[in-house]
Structure 1
Amino acid sequence: MDLEEILATTCSIGWGAADLLRSYCKTGSNQNLNVHYKYNEPVTAADLAVNHYILKRLQAELNNLNFGYISEETYKRGNREKLTSEFVWIIDPIDGTRDFIKKTGEYAIQIALVRKKRPILAVVVIPELQKLYYAVKGNGTFVKTPDGKSQPIKVSTRKSLEEVTLVFSRSHRNPKLEYLLQNLPCKNHKSLGSVGFKVATIVEQGADIYISPCGKSAPKDWDMAAPELILTEAGGKFTHFSGDEFQYNTGYIDQWGGLLASNGQLHELLSRKVEAILETYQDLE
């Protein structure tokens, strides 16, 4: 299997999906989005259309290869079966649907190829910025613009907890997150949309850290797989609060345990601090 050829195909699909999403935004109204809710999360006509587009093109253009597929819009809750294919696509047609509906621009298209529970290829597209981030395991992270130009991209080298910028979710705030924000020494805070958008901000050196303690629900495989590889190949780290790496296609899509992404300079220190702070939070409950 030639990963470079598969990457080129995936990038082309990512750009096409971005064009499709922008076509929904051009109407100036949400009436054509047909918004409904699935497991307390919004789903729109655009989510479904982009999901169909990505799956159809992947299957049509790579039909000679045996892949499995895990997608937010087709996965059935309660399914505990691990896909047996050696290579599995994990797809989020719109990461940050709430931001897509609100037209903040902070949403992303995320496509990852996983082998043996770990991502080996990833594409994250930020349609409103017209930027596509891509990575293949061991080859670094690159950012591409519609004119075809691409360049390598790296995270910051900031090392002071007092100087780094911490990003967190605009839509999924909870008391545990508020407690962390109050007690971590990082004083530069920024709330943003999707996980993909947050990671893009970190690799663009507009931020250094992302934290997300689990509340009543946990992020899913499709929230994490592509952004993780984009960040780690750019020199950063992305783990559970415990420091354990993510595992994908395990038969269980929930990523419990809290999420910590960083430029890598302070990751272990932050992991220890976050766990210590959360221990005191448990004592207060």
Structure 2
Amino acid sequence: MKDLQEILAIARQVGWGAADILQSYYHGTIKDSNLEIEYKQNEPVTAADIATSQYILDNLQAALGNEDFAYISEETYKSQQGKNNSQYVWIIDPLDGTRDFIDKTGDYAIHIALVTENRPVLSVVSLPESEKLYYATKGGGTFVETRNSSIPLQISLNLDTKPLEDLTLVVSRSHRNQRLNYLLENLPCKNHKSVGSVGCKIATILEQKADIYISLSGSSAPKDWDIAAPELILTEAGGQFTHFDGTPLQYNTGDISQWGGLLASNGLYHEDLCQQSERILANFSNS
């Protein structure tokens, strides 16, 4: 098997190519750019999702094969059940933030993560409209790349200590429920910033435009492909991304859903915010 840096170079190249495809649909520059929107389990799927998924899978498989790797993409997962037994599994979201893509907010991303032993070891998060690609390897740090440069990112080096009340929460535009609204209303952080796509949300923390992101599953939950790649680019830059009880997230476990409360942060007050969130939700349950 190729070493991790060789695999990363391939994934980065695929990330840029996927960004080109999505931009061509987004800006209508591709011939026959009709999105052909369908709804599956109340979630939109477009021709752009399908084309980008096919491109990513085709190119990763052409470069790396199927012997050492398995591939799980949101658009091809369908009814596959049970844990994948390959040691290395690619977990791919070809278009995270499809609603934002359709609504033309610009907040959409491509997630490509390589997972082994239930944890990500390599990730690429491409933000086509920002012309940026974030990438990380376990223990190798996080970098942000444009079309012609690449620089390391370390958010913990530049953090200004500020009161907990002054932290900014990045929140979803569409995935909201009563429990999440109750939690957000009762946390001390009153600055909220609405952003689509988990990849875009985590990028706002990396770029120090926000401090915290909370995911709280209700009748549904975010899937492995929503979280795996964004998690690694945040934690390798010095941030934290855990369950409310502090335990690490697990991927490729046989259940693709990430249930419960998850909190991502730049590291400031992370444990305190997790504990406060658990207390607030206990009050909601008892009310």
Which TM-score bucket, shorter chain as reference? over 0.9
Q: Residue 225 of structure 1 is aligned with which of 225, 228, 239?
A: 228
Question: 1:32 corresponds to which residue?
Answer: 34
2:212 aligned residue (188, 209, 212):
209
Select which of 172, 176, 188 maps to 2:175.
172
Query: Secondary structure of 2:165's match?
Result: coil
Does the CA-based 8 Å contact 2:111-2:124 persist in structure 1?
yes
2:95 aligned with 1:94: yes
Distance 2:274 2:96 in 1: 25
**Equivalent in the alignment of 1:145:** 146
Runs of 5+ consecutive residues of structure 2 not aligned to the other structure: none
TM-score, L = length of structure 1: 0.96
Indicate the residue corresponding to 2:12 in structure 1.
11
Deviation string 1:149-198 (CA, Å, 9 cap, x unpaired) is 01111225245211111111111011111111111000111111000000
1:270 — aligned with what?
Answer: 273
Q: Distance in 2 between matches of 1:184 and 1:260?
A: 13
TM-score, L = length of structure 2? 0.95
Does structure 2 retain, via aligned residues, the 8 Å contact 1:154–1:204? Answer: no
Secondary structure of 1:32 counterpart: coil
50-59 or 158-167, larger mean C-alpha shift: 158-167
* Counterpart among 72, 75, 79 of residue 74 in structure 2: 72
Structure 2 SS opposite 1:252? coil
> Sequence identity, in percent?
64
Question: Post-superposition, which runs of at least 4 consecutive aligned residues in structure 1 deviate over 2 A?
Answer: 28-31, 154-160
RMSD value, Cα: 1.6
CA distance in 1, matches of 2:182, 2:14: 40
The CA distance in 1 between the partners of 2:223 and 2:141, in whole Å, is 24
User: Which residue in 2 is equivalent to 1:113?
Assistant: 114
Task: Output one character per residue of 1:191-245: Cα deviation in whole Å (capped at 9) or x when no partner.
Answer: 1100000001100111110012112100000001000000000100111222221
Kept in 1: contact 2:115–2:122 (CA 8 A) = yes
TM-superposition CA deviations, 1:10-33 (whole Å, max 9, x none):
000000000000110222899700
**More divergent stretch after superposition (117-126 vs 250-259):** 250-259
Equivalenced residues, count: 282
Preserved contact between residue 25 and residue 33 of structure 2 (Cα < 8 Å): no
Gaps spanning 5+ residues in structure 1: where?
Answer: none
Instruction: Please show how residues 51-62 of structure 1 align to structure 2 within 5 Å.
Output: 51-62=53-64
After TM superposition, list the pairs within 5 Å mapping 1:157-168 onto structure 2.
Answer: 157=159, 158-168=161-171
Residues 131 and 143 in structure 1, CA contact (< 8 A), matched pair in contact too: yes
Moved more, 31-40 or 273-282: 31-40
Question: What amino acid does structure 2 have at the position aligned with 1:250?
Answer: T
Range with bigger deviation, 59-68 or 211-220: 59-68
Q: Which one of the candidate residues 255, 264, 269 is aligned to 2:258?
A: 255
